[in-house]
């Protein structure tokens, strides 16, 4: 079972369409950032952790925001163990919002339980101008 202990990490930006009805004076976006884990030995997909941020802005300030995680498991020996951390800076009425999320995945074996944990994290910054940036990795 040593095959699954070693994990390669990939990151990618994803952007979706907003389905939020925005006030006439604001625009809205839904953006996300994904951390993907693959087996070091065979390159097989193990899991993905995406942090989504939906935000509205009026050119100067953030007028609304909401964030949530999305998890995809593709290997029977990995389980999502839940969210470890969530924090927000800025927000409604501010010139920016910074949303940070960290999840936990465990490599699970029926006779052993969780043998190893991996902790992906993603930080997204969105601005009242409508621009955004994101970063993420794994601990």
Domain boundaries, the chain: 2-138
CA dihedral 45, 36, 4, 76 (to 10 degrees): -60
Instruction: Quote the pTM value.
Output: 0.84
pLDDT < 50: residue spans in the chain: 1-6, 17-24
**pLDDT for the residue numbered 9:** 57
**pLDDT for the residue numbered 43:** 87
**pLDDT for the residue numbered 18:** 42
Of 55, 36, 44, residue with least CA distance to 120: 36
Alpha-carbon span 15 to 135, nearest angstrom: 14
């Amino acid at each position: 079972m040593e095959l699954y202990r070693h994990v390669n990490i990939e990151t990618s930006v994803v952007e979706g369409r907003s389905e939020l009805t925005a006030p006439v004076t604001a625009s809205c976006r839904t953006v996300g950032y994904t951390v993907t884990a693959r087996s070091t030995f065979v390159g097989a997909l193990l899991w993905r952790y995406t942090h989504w941020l939906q935000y509205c802005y009026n050119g100067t300030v953030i007028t609304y925001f909401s964030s949530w995680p999305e998890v995809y498991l593709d290997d029977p020996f990995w389980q999502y163990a839940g969210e470890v951390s969530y924090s927000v800076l800025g927000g409604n009425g501010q010139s920016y919002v910074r949303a940070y999320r960290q999840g936990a995945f465990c490599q699970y074996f029926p006779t052993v339980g969780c043998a190893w944990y991996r902790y992906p994290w993603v930080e997204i910054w969105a601005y009242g101008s409508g621009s955004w940036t994101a970063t993420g990795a794994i601990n």
